Amino acid sequence: MAPHPVRSAMTAYLVRRLLFAGFVLWGAVTIVFLVLRSVPSDPARLILGADATEVEISQLRSQMGLDRPLVVQYGNYLADVARLDFGDSYRYHKGAIGLVVDRFPVTFQLAAVAMVIAVVLGVSLGVVAALRVNRLADRVVSVLALLSQSMPSFWIGIVLILVFARQLHLLPSGGHGGPDHLILPGVTLALPFLAILIRLTRSGLLDVVHENYIQTARAKGLPERVVIFSHAIRNALIPVVTVAGLEFGQLLGGAVIVETVFAWPGAGRLLSDSISARDYNVVLAAILLIAAGFVAINLVVDTLYGYLDPRVRLGR
């Protein structure tokens, strides 16, 4: 029996996306390699510290393969990465990848909370603004979007700490703990993302309500509520989902700042600390894991996109 046409088209679509994801990861790995090899500081010198002799340093360099040609180094590096062997952190004397993996769930928790806040609030406020276009509610929402996009995260974070932790004593100012610890960093991380989602949802919905099929839905005598929620929103959300996926990478990047402000013990804070300390093995592991997380989320988004838009799923 022939395979189900719709299902096999979907499978082909996912296989294409998976191959592409592999290509993106290889690109990220290569860029990180080139960047780390082009920074002036010498890893061997860093590991041994200021007291080391030149002989000791050159010994370690050859031990680490740093005296070999760049192509050979790149080959060894790819082999290491493929085995998920990023070497040890010289600060913690532990496997770099283990350090990052331990911290990653905490970052992911924060990013997920921010994503949920941004998507739920962003889409609902965007819908409200579109339905009340040019009226008070629309203007209020637009100002809100403008504010949350134009204020930098570190500043918002500090203001939120001052207001809700210092003055009102409602929420903890930082650290990792119960659900209440997630609120302030989650909101801070969500805000720029929220602004984008509000705008996209609003403009997407405003475009869609002028489509002919919306007129058809009205001509069928459907109540306006049904016209909007079962005919318009799904179409309006197609671009929103695409951008949401792309923006999730920004969210992981933003986590570096927000985790620092809120003393959140995640991979972002580990990354920024490791950069300051030039703990390159950890930097490498963290960047690659964040890139992998980004690619994974995009894969999920692409799948979702195929679900939302049958024209994509069926490979038209």
Partner 1 sequence: MDGTAILPATGRPAPSRPLLSVQDLTVQFGTRAGTITAVDRVSLDVAEGETLAVLGETGSGKSALAQALMGLVPGPAGRVVSGRINYDGTDLLARPRSYTRRLCGTELAMVFQDPLSSLNPVLRVGVQIGELFRRRRGASRAEARRKAIELMERVGIPAAARRVDDYPHQFSGGMRQRVMIAMALALRPRLLIADEPTTALDVTVQAQIMQLLADLKAEHRMSLILISHDLGLVAGVADRVMLMYAGRVVETGELREVYQTLAHPYTRGLMASIPGLAGPRERLTPITGSPPDLLRLPSGCRFRPRCGFATEACRASQPDLLPVPTGPESHRAACHHAEEVVADGRSG
**8 Å CB contact between 186 and 117:** yes
Helix (H) or strand (E) holding 305: helix 280-308
- Candidates 212, 263, 291, 293: give the one binding partner 1 (CB under 8 A): 212
Position 226 contacts partner 1 (CB under 8 A): yes
- Show contacts with partner 1 in window 227-246 (CB under 8 A): 230-231, 234-235, 238
**Strand 88-89 and strand 94-95: pairing?**
antiparallel
Q: Does 154 bind partner 1 (CB under 8 A)?
A: no
Amino acid type, 13:
Y
CA pair distance 250, 298, nearest whole angstrom: 12
Helix, strand, or coil (residue 94): strand
Told to check if 3 binds partner 1 by CB under 8 A, we report no
Give the residue, chosen from 27, 175, 310, 315, that forms a contact with partner 1 under the rule CB under 8 A: 310
Least distance to partner 1 from the beta carbon of 198, Å?
A: 22
Does the protein bind partner 1 through residue 304 (CB under 8 A)? no
- Single residue of 222, 243, 275, 304 touching partner 1 by CB under 8 A: 222
Sole binder of partner 1 in the list 20, 211, 265, 272 (CB under 8 A): 211
Determine contact, residues 282/119, Cβ cutoff 8 Å.
no
Taking CB under 8 A as the binding criterion, the range among 167-175, 198-206, 209-217, 266-274 that sits at the site for partner 1 is 209-217
* DSSP per residue, 106-156: HHHHHHHHHHHHHHHHHHHHHHHHHHTTTSHHHHHHHHHHHHHHHS-HHHH
The interface region with partner 1, picked from 44-52, 113-121, 182-190, 305-313 by CB under 8 A, is 305-313
Binding site for partner 1 (CB under 8 A): 210-213, 215-224, 226, 230-231, 234-235, 238, 308-311, 314, 316
